[in-house]
Amino acid sequence: MADSGNTGELIALALERAGVNHLFTLNGAHIWPVLTGAVEHGIRVVDFRHEQSAAFAAEGWAKVTRECGVAAVTAGPGVTNAATALAQAKSNDSPMFVIGGRAPVARWGMGSLQEMDHLEVVRSLTKHAMTLESAEDAYAATAESLRTASSRRTGPVFMDVPIDVFFGAADLPEATEHLSVDLGPPPDHDLIQRAARLIRESERPVIVAGGGVWWARAEKELRELVEVANVPLTVNGMARGMLPPRHPLFFSRARGTALRDADLVVLIGALLDFRLNFGQPPVFGEDSRLIYIDVDDHRKHRPSEAGIYGDLKAALRELATAVAGAPRSDAWVARLREAEADGRLKDEAMKSIGGSPVHPARLIAEVDRFAGRDAIIVGDGGDFVSFAGRLIERDEPGLWIDPGPFGCLGSGPGYAIAAKLARPDRQVILLSGDGAFGFAAMEFDTMVRHGIQVVCVVGNNGIWALEKHPMLSMLGTSIAADLGTRTRYDKVVEALGGYGEMIDRPEEIGPALERAFASGLPACINVICDPDAEYPRSSVLM
């Protein structure tokens, strides 16, 4: 005879059997059964101070591990608070599963506490959203939600559970079902051959890899393709680190030259969004030809020579075989190496600026010098993170986590907490603007309560720099763009039980980081930065 359990336990059992070992949450009676179920099934419950951070932790878990991250939030405001993280996860293709509480079916429409039809709100923010109707469906619906989140174009899935359904019971299924994800159809062989021919015939090819390669776990196949075809690579999003920065075919500073002058651009798991100027001139050449390789045709709005959609990893493997023996475009690679070297030289100057207040580029350079090779760096802020994104390089993917194209300030603490839980042996460094710090600062309490050591470095310039500088230059005025100066964010963290220091000089940064890590506590190194140091931006981000 099978045992029976309530809906919360059935959900927890399905999560456990799928390998989920952390549940990010904030308490509310509407979700008690899943909390008790999680504890019964050995799933670590990590409770936050705001549902937005709990949901960002689920997304951060996905970004670091490529497994589906899971959060449970209470009915009504719990779900609306989690909505921003769902939206960000959608735009990052992050596989996550949010379980919401819900007012009882038995009194639906009568005005129960926190009653709201969440689906109306979250449908456009998710891959799939549903209301669980009975305990009998709980186990299968949970397994299917995890599978949907991790299949094809990965992304967030939402399921809410009416409180009366939560307390219903059903038999616990005995069989352990294997969760096989759908990677999409196998590649079209004719298109692979056509792509190989175009690469062979191209004189100035370039590959742009994006987060899709990370989600497809295809970094090895990407590297093989790049090396076999001898094609320069540039990356964005979660593809950062797929080639080490010193690899002869890796380019970041020469990206502008590479895209502008290429005759063929092969986009792999990358979206033609604002980061690539939508694939349009002047960033892309008027006449350059395009090849798309991705799980589907999402944001591929420029005509191409070949669109290879489906199982990305298999496509890269086949294409590497098909391009073997392609003529080498050595002159093109050499030209880009020159542009790359020029760009790096300019960065060196920025990195060594001395004096007080600290230049943000110098601060980033000091953090970079300190960080271990496998440290996970989380970015949360404006210009400060732009400097970091430019100057901090990683030898492997999965070691740089930022909000992505949705750009939500305040996602950093949730991401960083998840990163440390997923990789407890590594340093996790959160780079936060002073503005960004304000959104989720209470999560340092979460870190203290759960013993999660994140070391946060605040680039404290007293302004919302990424808005203030462009506003001044475009409108000649700045409104609502100032913050307090020398605000003691370090004391905030200290008051919550962490470690804090305020720093004024670049030479003090390394020793302060040393002390912060040695404290064993969540920490805040609050570095007073130069408000006049503007990030050298070539375009307005829109």
Ligand X SMILES: Cc1ncc(C[n+]2csc(CCOP(=O)(O)OP(=O)(O)O)c2C)c(N)n1
Which residues here bind ligand X, judged by CB under 6 A?
381-384, 407-410, 433-436, 459, 461, 463-467
CA dihedral 122→123→125→129, nearest 10 degrees, is: 80
Contact partner, 311, from ligand X, Mg ion, none, Cβ < 5-8 Å per class: none
Q: Write out the two tokens for 389.
A: 């994104």
The binder of Mg ion chosen from 433, 498, 500, 522 (CB under 5 A): 433
> Please, what sign has the CA dihedral across residues 133, 135, 140, 143?
positive
CA distance 367 to 113: 48
Question: Coil, strand or helix: which one is 205?
Answer: strand
Cβ 37 to ligand X shortest distance, Å: 33
Based on the shown chain and the rule CB under 5 A, indicate whether residue 434 belongs to the binding site for Mg ion: yes
Contact partner, 383, from ligand X, Mg ion, none, Cβ < 5-8 Å per class: ligand X
Q: Which residue is nearest to ligand X (CB)?
A: 433
DSSP strands (E only) in 298-373: 306-309
Cβ 88 to ligand X shortest distance, Å: 10
Based on the shown chain and the rule CB under 5 A, indicate whether residue 150 belongs to the binding site for Mg ion: no
Contact partner, 273, from Mg ion, ligand X, none, Cβ < 5-8 Å per class: none
Number of residues lying near Mg ion (CB under 5 A):
5
Contact partner, 28, from Mg ion, ligand X, none, Cβ < 5-8 Å per class: none
Pick 210 or 433: Cβ nearer Mg ion: 433
CA distance 316 to 212: 12
Buried b (16+ CB within 10 A) or exposed e, 479-514: eebebeeebebbebbbebebbbbbbeebebbeebbe
Part of the chain binding Mg ion (CB under 5 A), chosen from 70-78, 249-257, 317-325, 425-433: 425-433
Contact 431, 424 (CB under 8 A): no
Cβ 418 to ligand X shortest distance, Å: 19
CA distance 267 to 48: 38
Q: Write out the two tokens for 78.
A: 């719990």
Pick 177 or 482: Cβ nearer Mg ion: 482
Contact partner, 402, from Mg ion, ligand X, none, Cβ < 5-8 Å per class: none
Part of the chain binding Mg ion (CB under 5 A), chosen from 205-213, 235-243, 370-378, 454-462: 454-462
Contact partner, 412, from ligand X, Mg ion, none, Cβ < 5-8 Å per class: none
Pick 242 or 431: Cβ nearer ligand X: 431
Pick 46 or 350: Cβ nearer Mg ion: 350
CA distance 150 to 66: 9
Cβ 351 to Mg ion shortest distance, Å: 20
Distances (CA, A) of 42 to 161, 341, 363: 21, 52, 41
Helix axis angle, 360-370 to 509-519, nearest 10°: 50
64's CB contacts (< 8 A; 6+ apart) are 376, 398, 401, 418, 419, 422, 423
Contact partner, 467, from ligand X, Mg ion, none, Cβ < 5-8 Å per class: ligand X
Pick 337 or 491: Cβ nearer Mg ion: 491
Based on the shown chain and the rule CB under 5 A, indicate whether residue 530 belongs to the binding site for Mg ion: no
Contact partner, 436, from Mg ion, ligand X, none, Cβ < 5-8 Å per class: ligand X
Pick 434 or 501: Cβ nearer ligand X: 434
Contact partner, 466, from ligand X, Mg ion, none, Cβ < 5-8 Å per class: ligand X
Distances (CA, A) of 142 to 11, 77, 97, 416, 467: 6, 22, 9, 26, 42
Part of the chain binding Mg ion (CB under 5 A), chosen from 186-194, 329-337, 344-352, 462-470: 462-470
CA R_g for the chain: 24
Instruction: Tell me which residues touch Mg ion (CB under 5 A).
Output: 433-435, 461, 465
